[in-house]
Amino acid sequence: MYNAFFGFADSPFNLSPDPTFFYKSQQHEEALANLIYGVQSRKGFIVLTGEVGTGKTTMLECLRDYLYAHRIEFAFLFNSRIKPEEMYEMIAYDLDLRCDRTSKTEVIYALNELLIQQVSEGRTTVLIVDEAHNLDWEVLEEIRMLGNFENRGGKLLQVILAGQPELDRKLDAPNLRQLKQRIVLRCSLKAFLEGETFEYVQTRLAKAGMEENKVFPPDLMAEIHLRSQGIPRLVNAICDNLLLTAFALESRICTMEMLDEVTADMRLEWPGRRLRLRPQLARGGA
Ligand SMILES: Nc1ncnc2c1ncn2[C@@H]1O[C@H](COP(=O)(O)OP(=O)(O)O)[C@@H](O)[C@H]1O
Ligand SMILES: [Mg+2]
C-alpha cells in the first residue's frame, strides 16, 4: 500500500518466509550451514529449534532452495497435526512415489526403492518436518523408523525436525530415547542482538529498493529492537505498521509517537514497558 510513497519496489516487511529477503546473521548462517552439512554428510536426524518467529521456516525455505539447486529429492511436511497414514500419503505425494499412496506398506516399498536409486546416483533424500513440536507420539515413532533406512555409506533418508523449544523437551521423553540417540546435529535460533536487528532492518529495506535507512532514525531503531525483543517476526510487524502509519500521515520518517501507537495497537509487552507507560496513564486518568 505504502510502497510507491516510500519508493519501494517490493514490500520490505512481508511476513512470509521468503528466502530472497534472507538476512545472514551469524547464527542464521551457521544454522543453514549445519543443515546443509547434516544433509550432505548423511548423518540421519537433525533438529532445529527456536522460539516463535525466530526464522525457522525461513531457514527451511533456504534449505529447500539449496535442495532444488542440487536436485536432491525431498518431502516437506509443513502441517504436523497429522496421523501416520496422512504422513505417508504426504511423503508419497511430495516424492511422487508411484504406488497406492493410501497404503503404508506400498509407500514404504516405493520409498525404499527411491532411496536406493537416489543413493546409486550419489544423492541423498530428505524429509523435512516443520512445526515438529506438534507431532503425535505415534507419528514421531514412524519417523524414527523411516530414519532406519541405511546402507554402508550412511543413512539413506535425512530427517530434519524443526520446531519450538518444546520439541527438545518432547524428544527428552523416555519413549523417544531411541530417536533422541539418533540426533546427530542440533541447531537453535535465538532472537537478534541489537546490532543484528539494525542490520536486519537495513537488509530488508535495501532488498526492497531503499539502499539507506531513511525511515527509521537510530533512536527509534533501538526502541524497535527493545519492543520486538529481537524477534524477526515482531520486527517485521512493527516496521510494517510504522510505515503504514507514516504513510497515512504523509510523513517520510517514522517517529516515537507512531511507535507508541503501533505497539499499543499490537498489545505488545516488553521488559520495562510498565515503567515507561504508567506515568502517562496516571496523568491521563487523574
Ligand atoms: N534471517 C532472516 N532473514 C530474513 N527474514 C527473516 C529471518 N529470520 C526471520 N525472518 C522473517 O521473520 C518472520 C518470521 O520468520 P519464520 O521463519 O516464519 O519464523 P518461525 O518459523 O521461527 O516462526 C518472517 O517474515 C521471515 O521472513
Ligand atoms: Mg514457522
Short-list 131, 161, 160, 157, CA closest to 146: 157
C-beta of 198 in contact with ligand 1 (< 6 A)? no
Residue of 58, 59, 238 to mutate, ligand 1, most atoms within 8 A of C-beta = 58
C-beta of 28 in contact with ligand 1 (< 6 A)? yes
Centroid of ligand 1 to alpha carbon of 232 (angstroms): 6
Centroid of ligand 2 to alpha carbon of 57 (angstroms): 4
C-beta of 12 in contact with ligand 1 (< 6 A)? no
Please give the grid coordinates belonging to residue 234.
515482531
Q: Would you list the domain boundaries of the chain? A: 3-10+192-285, 26-189
Instruction: For residue range 80-100, list pLDDT tens digits in order.
Output: 999 999 999 999 999 999 999
CATH 1.10.287.3510 fits 3-10+192-285, yes or no: no
CATH 3.80.30.20 fits 26-189, yes or no: no
**Number of Cβ within a 10 Å radius of residue 130:** 22
Q: Phi-psi region for residue 18, left (φ > 0), alpha (ψ -120 to 50) or beta?
A: beta
C-beta of 236 in contact with ligand 1 (< 6 A)? yes
Q: Can you tell me which atom of ligand 1 is nearest the CA of 28? A: 1
Find the angle CA(175)-CA(179)-CA(154) to the nearest 5 degrees. 155
The answer to whether residue 248 scores a pLDDT higher than 70 is: yes
Centroid of ligand 2 to alpha carbon of 42 (angstroms): 24
Tell me the torsion sign for CA atoms 137, 123, 130, 102: negative
Ligand 1 atom 27: residue of nearest CA: 17
Instruction: For residue range 118-165, list pLDDT tens digits in order.
Output: 999 999 999 999 999 999 999 999 999 999 898 888 899 999 999 999
Instruction: For residue range 48-82, list pLDDT tens digits in order.
Output: 999 999 999 999 999 999 999 999 999 999 999 99
Short-list 162, 168, 180, CA closest to 54: 162
C-beta of 88 in contact with ligand 1 (< 6 A)? no
Q: Can you tell me which atom of ligand 1 is nearest the CA of 235? A: 12
C-beta of 227 in contact with ligand 1 (< 6 A)? no
Mean pLDDT (the chain, rounded): 93
Centroid of ligand 2 to alpha carbon of 127 (angstroms): 16
Burial-class residue 1 by CB neighbours within 10 Å (0-12, 13-18, 19+).
Answer: exposed
DSSP 8-state code for residue 128: E
* Shortest-distance ligand to the CA of residue 238: 1
Q: What percent of the chain is modeled with pLDDT above 90?
A: 85
Please give the grid coordinates belonging to residue 195.
546490532
Ligand 1 atom 16: residue of nearest CA: 55
Short-list 71, 15, 79, 65, CA closest to 35: 65
